[in-house]
């Protein structure tokens, strides 16, 4: 798998994001991360480790633990493994300029009935088939999820769906409500609001 596109989009003299190198060595545990990214629009980035890189989807509305929600997830270029720890500011004028913060992270496995040593193979087969079933063990996201590829002309569109299990909820789920007010992005947004002058309504 190639990190060429990732590297091409970024100037590593300017951004503090990690340079795209493939992770070496044997994998024991697979990781996932969800980063909250304030770029031109606020969105969430779901990243799942496979074959030494992170497979990535931008999720505009963020993930949900309610199985009724089908959250659009746009597949984007592979990111390097080290990106899972990235938090910080991407300077103005660079790709994805804005703020990145980690919203949730943890381990990634295939469905429980799959031998852990075959988990990565099962995940890759699911990815290839456009029907990826996986289990997350994070702080906020737990249990089974699926990413289902939409059969449309635009082949980057997937849906992120929570499977019904002990971690699912029937209540409305808004990932923004599960973000601390003190998060770097929320602080920046609050600062911006405070800084902009209050406009009087025309009478
Ligand atoms: Mn992003």
Q: Say if CB 143 and CB 165 are below 8 A apart.
A: yes
Q: What pLDDT sits at residue 202?
A: 59
Which residue bears the tokens 């249990």?
Answer: 143
pLDDT at 128 (0 to 100): 94
Ligand 1 centroid from CA 138, angstroms: 20
**How far apart are alpha carbons 126 and 132 in whole angstroms?**
4
How far, in Å, is the centroid of ligand 1 from the Cα of 44?
A: 6
Residue showing tokens 């699912």: 168
Query: What is the structure's pLDDT at 24?
Result: 77
pLDDT on residue 117: 81
Spacing, Cα 97 to ligand 1 middle (Å): 9
pLDDT recorded at residue 100: 98
Ligand 1 geometric centre to CA of 29 (Å):
24
Residues measured by CB to lie within 5 Å of ligand 1, the ion: 37, 45
CA of 41 to the centre of ligand 1 (A): 9
In the chain, the largest separation of any two C-alpha atoms, in whole Å, equals 69
E strand or H helix at 80: strand 71-80
10 CA → ligand 1 middle, Å: 13
**Cα–chain-centroid distance for residue 168?**
19
Residue 197 has a pLDDT of 62
Domain boundaries, the chain: 3-185
Alpha carbon 177 to its chain's center: 17
Cα 98 to averaged position of ligand 1 atoms, centre (Å): 9
Helix-, strand-, coil-residue percentages of the chain, each rounded to 5: 20, 35, 45
Q: How far is the CA of 201 from the centre of ligand 1 (A)?
A: 35
- Rounded mean pLDDT for each run of 10 residues along the chain, 203 residues in total: 88 92 79 97 97 96 98 96 96 96 97 82 94 97 97 84 97 96 93 69 57
Q: Ligand 1 center to residue 96 CA distance, Å?
A: 6
Q: Where are the alpha helices (DSSP H) in the chain?
A: 4-8, 119-129, 184-195
- CA of 189 relative to ligand 1 center, distance in Å: 17
Residues 116 and 110: their CA atoms lie apart, in Å, by 7
């Amino acid at each position: 798998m190639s990190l060429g596109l990732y590297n091409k989009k970024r100037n590593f003299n300017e951004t503090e994001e990690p340079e795209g190198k493939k992770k070496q060595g044997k994998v024991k545990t697979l990781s996932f991360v969800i980063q909250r990214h304030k770029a031109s629009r606020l969105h969430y980035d779901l990243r799942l480790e496979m074959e030494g890189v992170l497979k990535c989807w931008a999720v505009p509305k963020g993930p949900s633990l309610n199985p009724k929600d089908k959250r659009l997830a746009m597949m984007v270029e592979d990111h390097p493994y080290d990106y899972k720890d990235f938090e910080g500011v991407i300077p103005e004028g660079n790709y994805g300029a804005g703020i990145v913060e980690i919203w949730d992270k943890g381990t990634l496995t295939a469905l429980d009935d799959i031998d852990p040593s075959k988990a990565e193979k099962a995940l890759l087969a699911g990815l290839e088939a456009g029907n990826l079933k996986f289990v997350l063990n994070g702080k906020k996201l737990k249990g089974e999820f699926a990413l289902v590829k939409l059969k449309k002309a635009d082949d980057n569109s997937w849906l992120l769906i929570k499977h019904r299990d002990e971690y699912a909820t029937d209540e409305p789920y808004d990932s923004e409500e599960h973000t601390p007010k003190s998060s770097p992005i929320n602080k920046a947004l609050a600062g911006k609001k405070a800084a902009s002058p209050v406009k009087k309504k025309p009478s």
